[in-house]
């Protein structure tokens, strides 16, 4: 049970408050992690309430079964959150979900466990897969792609201005020995980057980019977002917490567009129905307080956006 308590959930109270939990409602936690949000939701749910929790990380799912396996209110599914429409439909909840939460990005236990390969602070195998049983590891991907593709991923997903230098150094290094360890990669990046960002390790952007690529994080998000409004009941809440600008820009644009509805192209005749707004924005973006950031520095980059389903 140690892993459950080691994880400090970001924006815990704010997110659960934003969901406006009804005791008999139906809720979805699409990114269980170590269950901080789920535990708070269950405290507010009555005997008739229901909670679906998803995660693609088998370790997170093991914690969910251990913590909630005997709770008849909870359904636990190991799956990527892009499958949520199918999971919700299987339960017969489509259009009836009262609140849906997505806490994007990587969890603290994933970062802290060296064997998962997510962090440049701990030496371990260069894996980075949220589900280590499927897909291609970061080491395998780096071993097979060309310099141009590496540079493109680092620039696009890491917003790394020295992407080409780093890609060149990686390709040169792998010609002599495979790049298979996190510390090895961090050293390579540090040697390739000519300047340092204040208070940021030079490997930060490279590790972020590789993690996003290996797990197709932005693709997962883009496939799910358009389907979310139809999962919600009228007045159902959608709460999404992002940890970098690539995610937050997509979430912000999606909620804004859904709140506006389908715009009519100026100067053209109306030839069919235009889609009405499906969401209404619930206030401005919420960030962690100074006290929370002081207690948990990983909360510094968190941005929470909230919307509700309209008729």
DSSP type of residue 121: T
Mind listing the pLDDT tens digit for each residue in 136-154? 999 999 999 999 999 999 9
- CATH 3.40.50.150 is held by the domain 2-109+218-309: yes
CA–CA dist 28, 219 (Å, integer): 20
- pLDDT of res. 5: 37
Q: Which has the higher per-residue pLDDT, 269 or 138?
A: 138
pLDDT surpasses 70 at 280: yes
Mean pLDDT of 6-35: 91
Assign 3 a pLDDT band (cuts: 50, 70, 90). very low
Where are the chain's structural domains?
Answer: 2-109+218-309, 116-216
pLDDT surpasses 60 at 271: no
Q: Which has the higher per-residue pLDDT, 208 or 266?
A: 208
Mean pLDDT of 58-69: 95
Mean pLDDT of 7-22: 90
Q: Which residues contact 177 (CB under 8 A, 6 or more apart)?
A: none
- pLDDT of res. 2: 37
Mean pLDDT of 35-62: 96
Classify domain 116-216 at the CATH topology level. Answer: DNA polymerase; domain 1 (1.10.150)
- pLDDT of res. 270: 58
Of 89, 103, 98, nearest in space to 27 by CA: 98
Assign 4 a pLDDT band (cuts: 50, 70, 90). very low
Burial zone of 125 (CB within 10 Å; 0-12 exposed, 13-18 middle, 19+ buried): middle
CA–CA dist 36, 83 (Å, integer): 22
pLDDT surpasses 90 at 265: no
pLDDT surpasses 80 at 218: yes
Assign 108 a pLDDT band (cuts: 50, 70, 90). confident
Mean pLDDT of 12-17: 95
Q: Degrees (nearest 5) of the Cα angle 271, 273, 276?
A: 140
User: Percent of the chain beyond pLDDT 70?
Assistant: 94
- pLDDT of res. 115: 87
Average pLDDT of the residues of the chain: 92
Mean pLDDT of 94-118: 90
Q: Are strands 97-103 and 286-287 parallel, antiparallel or unpaired?
A: unpaired
């Amino acid at each position: 049970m140690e892993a459950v308590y080691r994880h400090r959930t970001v924006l815990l109270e704010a997110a659960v408050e934003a969901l406006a939990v009804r005791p008999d409602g139906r809720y979805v936690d699409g990114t269980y992690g170590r269950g901080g949000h789920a535990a708070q939701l269950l405290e507010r749910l009555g005997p008739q309430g229901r909670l679906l929790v998803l995660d693609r990380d088998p370790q997170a799912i093991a914690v969910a079964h251990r913590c909630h396996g005997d709770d008849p209110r909870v359904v636990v599914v190991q799956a990527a959150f892009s499958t949520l429409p199918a999971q919700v439909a299987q339960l017969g909840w489509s259009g009836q979900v009262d609140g849906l939460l997505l806490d994007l990005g990587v969890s603290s236990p994933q970062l802290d466990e060296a064997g998962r390969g997510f962090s440049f602070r701990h030496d371990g195998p260069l894996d980075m897969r949220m589900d280590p049983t499927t897909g291609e590891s970061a080491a395998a991907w780096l071993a097979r792609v060309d310099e141009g593709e590496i540079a493109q991923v680092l620039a696009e997903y890491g917003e790394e201005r020295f992407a080409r230098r780093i890609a060149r150094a990686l390709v040169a290094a792998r010609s002599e020995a495979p790049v298979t360890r996190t510390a090895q990669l961090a050293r390579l990046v540090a040697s390739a980057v000519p300047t340092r960002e204040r208070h940021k390790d030079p490997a930060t952007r490279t590790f972020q980019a590789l993690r996003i690529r290996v797990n197709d994080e932005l693709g997962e998000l883009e496939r799910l977002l358009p389907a979310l409004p139809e999962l919600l009941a009228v007045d159902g809440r959608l709460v999404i917490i992002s940890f970098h600008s690539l995610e937050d820009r997509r979430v912000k644009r999606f909620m804004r567009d859904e709140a506006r509805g389908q715009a009519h192209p100026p100067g053209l005749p109306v030839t069919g129905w235009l889609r009405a707004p499906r969401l209404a924005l619930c206030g401005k973006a919420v960030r962690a307080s100074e006290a929370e950031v002081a207690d948990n520095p990983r909360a510094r980059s968190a941005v929470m956006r909230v919307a509700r389903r309209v008729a």
